[in-house]
Amino acid sequence: MLAVQNTSRQFLSTPLVCHLSRRWKFKKKHFQTSKKLGPEVRALQFFDRYYSPIFGKQWPSIRIALLSRPKYCALVNNLSRSRDDIIADLSSLGAYDINRPKKKAPKKKKVKKDGYEKDNEIESHEEAALNEQTSEISERRNDMDSSLSEDNTHSDTEERDDVDIHSDSEDEDIYSGRVGQVINMHDFIPPAKVYTQDELTLQTQQEQSLPVEDGEEVIQIIPRRDLKIPPELRVHIFPKRNVSTFKKPVGAGYYLMDAASLLPVFALSLTSNCRVLDLCSGPGGKALAMMQTMNIEQLTCVDISLSRLRRVRSVMDRYLGGVGHIIDYHHMNGIRWVAANPDVIYDRVLVDVPCTTDRHVLSPDEEDSIFKPARTKERLQLPKLQQELLKSGMQCCKPGGAVVYSTCTLSPGQNDQVVYAAIMDLHHNSEMQFVIEDLSCLVDAFRNVYYFDNHCKYGQLVLPHLAANFGPMYIAKIRRLN
C-alpha cells in the first residue's frame, strides 16, 4: 500500500510534456498563407495597370465587355445544299448580312434623358439588353475585383505604381572623389543601379505598353482604296444592342465565330485565283472564311501547334468536303517554313500571330494561360516573335501583293510597334520596299457593326463594347512595292 502511494506521488510530481507535431512548431510564411492568384486575375491586374492610361474613360466600358459573354456571327457555308433555307432561317431570327446591310430607316425624334440623346425606339431595348449583360457578369467581376484588392497588400511588384524605372534622379555620382584620378581598367566600378528581376519585367511591360512615336524615319501610308468584299461571303449577325445568340449548328450549314475575326479576311481584298498563305492558321475560322469567298486557287495553312492544325483540317473537311485538294497543311514553325521555301511566293499573306489573347485569358477555364507565372518570359518575348513572323510573311509576298497582320490584343507593343519594327528591319537589311495601306475604308464600311479605336497609327483596332461585343482585333495591311 505504501509502495503504491509513493508511486502515485512520484507520477503526480513529474511535469507533463506535450509533444507537438513538427508542422505546428513554426508560424507559416507569408507566401504559404497568402491567397494564390489565378492567371485570369493576374491578366486583369495587368490590363488595369497598362490599358487604363491608354484608353482613359473608355477602359471601364472595354473592361466590362471583356468580362462578359462575347458576341458571334454566323458564317454561311456556300457549299451547303440548304444554303438558301439557312439564310432565310437566320434572317427570321433578326440577323442580317453585314455584306448586304439594310437601308437605314429615317431617324426618329430624339429625347434627352440624363443629359444624353437617345432614340425613343431603342431606348428601352438598349437598357434591357445592357442590364441583362451587366447582371450576368457582376458576380464574376466582383469576385475578381475582390481578389485584386486582397492582393494589393501582398504583391511587391504591383505596389510600385509611382516608380519611374527610367529615372536617374536617385543615382548618385559614383565617381565622386575620383576626379583627377586615373582609373585602372582592373578597378572594380560598382553599377549605377541594380535591378531586380521583377523590376526588369516591369520595365519591359511598360515599354511594350507605350504607343508608337514618330521617329526619324517615317513609313509611307498610301491613300485609301475602295473596299472590295467578295459577294459570295455571307455573314449574318444580330444588330447592335441585340444580345440574342445563334443556335449551335447541327450540320455544316454555318460556322460560328467572332465577327471581328472576319476583318483580316476583308482587308485581304481577295480576287479570283489568289494564292494565299495563312501563316498561323489555327483554329481555322479565318481560313474557312477565305475559302468561302470562292476566289482561292491555293491555300497554304501553317501552324506550329499540331492540335491547332488538326482543328483547321477538321473544320475544312466538315464544311468544304471535296475541295480539300487545294489546301496544304504544314506542321512547322512559320519562320522556319518560310526560310525552308524561299522560292515560294503568294499573292496574299495572312499573319495572325500568337498574342496575349486579351479576352480568353480572362476566362477561368483557360488552361494554358500566357499569364501563368511559368510563362512570364514567353509573354515578354511575344513582340519579338510577332516581328519575326511578320517579316517572314512579308518576305514570301510577291511584289504588288499584300500582307495583313492581325492580333486579338489591345496592346500597342504587339500591334503598331510590331508593324513599324518589321518594316524598318527589312528596309535596312534588304532591298524590299513596303508601304502601309490605309484601312479607314473598313471603318467607313462597318462603323455600324463594330466600335473602332481612333488612336492607332498604322492599322485599325476593334474595341469590345457591350452593345457590340466583338474583338479585340487589330488589323494592319502592308503592300510590297518591289
Please tell me whether residue 436 adopts helix, strand or coil conformation: strand
Q: Which helix (H) or strand (E) holds 462?
A: strand 460-462
Give me the residue label for grid cell 521555301. Answer: 341
CB-count burial class (<10 Å; 0-12, 13-18, 19+) for 435? middle
Please give the full DSSP string across 286-345, using - where no structure is assigned.
Answer: HHHHHHHTT-EEEEEEEES-HHHHHHHHHHHHHHTGGGGGGEEEEES-HHHHHHH-TT--
Q: Could you give the CA distance from residue 188 to residue 292 in angstroms, rounded to a whole number? A: 67
Distances in whole angstroms, Cα of residue 230 to Cα of each of 43, 100, 294: 38, 11, 8
8 Å CB contact between 444 and 392: no
Q: Which residue out of 274, 355, 396, 408 is catalytically annotated? A: 408
Please give the full DSSP string across 369-411, using - where no structure is assigned.
Answer: -TTSGGGHHHHHTHHHHHHHHHHHHHHTEEEEEEEEEEES---
* 303 annotated ligand-binding residue: yes
Cα dihedral across residues 103, 229, 461, 472: positive or negative: positive
Q: Could you give the CA distance from residue 279 to residue 330 in angstroms, rounded to a whole number? A: 10
8 Å CB contact between 347 and 276: yes
User: How far apart, in Å, do the first and last CA atoms of the chain sit?
Assistant: 115
* 286 annotated ligand-binding residue: yes
The C-alpha cell that represents 168 in the structure block: 536617374
* 280 annotated ligand-binding residue: yes
At how many degrees (to 10) do helices 120-151 and 39-50 cross?
110
Q: Could you give the CA distance from residue 290 to residue 464 in angstroms, rounded to a whole number? A: 24
Q: Could you give the CA distance from residue 249 to residue 77 in angstroms, rounded to a whole number? A: 11
274 part of the active site: no
At how many degrees (to 10) do helices 59-67 and 39-50 cross?
160
8 Å CB contact between 291 and 316: yes
459: number of Cβ within 10 Å: 25
273: number of Cβ within 10 Å: 10
Distances in whole angstroms, Cα of residue 435 to Cα of each of 55, 401, 442: 27, 11, 18
Catalytic site residues? 408
Residues making up the binding site for S-adenosyl-L-methionine: 280-286, 303, 352
